[in-house]
Amino acid sequence: MKRFHLAFCNRTEKGRHPAERLRQLGRIPSVIYGQSGSFPVSIDDVEFRTLIRQKGDFAATVELASDHKSVLTIITEIQRDAITDRFMHVDFQEISKGEHLTTTVPIHVKGEAYGVKNEKGMLEVVRHKVTVCCLPEHLIEMIEVDVTELRAGQNIHIKDLPSFEGVEYAGDAYGIVVACIHGAAEAEDENAEKSPEKQK
């Protein structure tokens, strides 16, 4: 599990105008949510962009530090401007060693499905992330799903995902993660065979 480090500064002013002034100074308004409540901070835009580029879509922890405090967190939400793509706001959730956390982990698909290669099927990734519950030290970066043996008409469910020490999957165990669906032509043939006119 990767751990990144990022400096933060406390901020006392709230509201749209103070937040915009921070952005003009190259800082991103942020909030750290912890057990004792939430407190507003700001982080450097360039440093955060570097962190996000290095982190990619992997799950990771972020140690936020100031001159007087250090907090271990995970990123829970990032707001970006739809036009300029600049970072508008970031939410962090404080986590503690020895206490379980709930977060999402990305799904990475590996291999070419048998159903795609040999049965004219189409692969559909239904979930790009799944929710897990674990201690911070057991948090995994991503979940690799091998679809090589998946045939047309078959699915991979949450219950079929690989197991990891100390990690539990949340949600419906039968929720579909990856599906190999029949090709359009084959589906049309099957529907035609089932149609009332075909059966007469």
Domain 101-193 indexed as CATH 2.170.120.20: yes
pTM, full prediction:
0.81
pLDDT tens sequence for the chain (200 residues): 788 999 999 998 878 899 999 999 999 999 999 877 899 999 999 999 999 999 999 999 999 999 888 999 999 999 999 999 899 999 999 998 889 999 999 999 999 999 999 999 999 999 999 999 999 999 999 999 999 999 999 999 999 999 999 999 998 999 999 999 997 555 455 555 555 554 54
Q: What pLDDT is stored for residue 165 in this prediction? A: 94
Both tokens assigned to 189: 């043939």
Interior/surface letters 104-115, b for 16+ CB within 10 angstroms, e for the rest: ebbbebeeebbb
| C-beta separation of 62 from 54 below 8 A | no
| C-beta separation of 167 from 114 below 8 A | no
Q: What pLDDT is stored for residue 109 in this prediction? A: 97
Every domain range in the chain assigned CATH 2.40.240.10: 3-94
Q: What pLDDT is stored for residue 196 in this prediction? A: 55
Every domain range in the chain assigned CATH 2.170.120.20: 101-193
Q: What pLDDT is stored for residue 36 in this prediction? A: 79
Q: What pLDDT is stored for residue 98 in this prediction? A: 85
- Classify domain 3-94 at the CATH class level: mainly beta
Q: Hey, how many other C-beta atoms are within 10 angstroms of the C-beta on 8?
A: 25
Neighbouring residues of 102: CB distance < 8 A, sequence distance ≥ 6: 131, 132, 133, 170
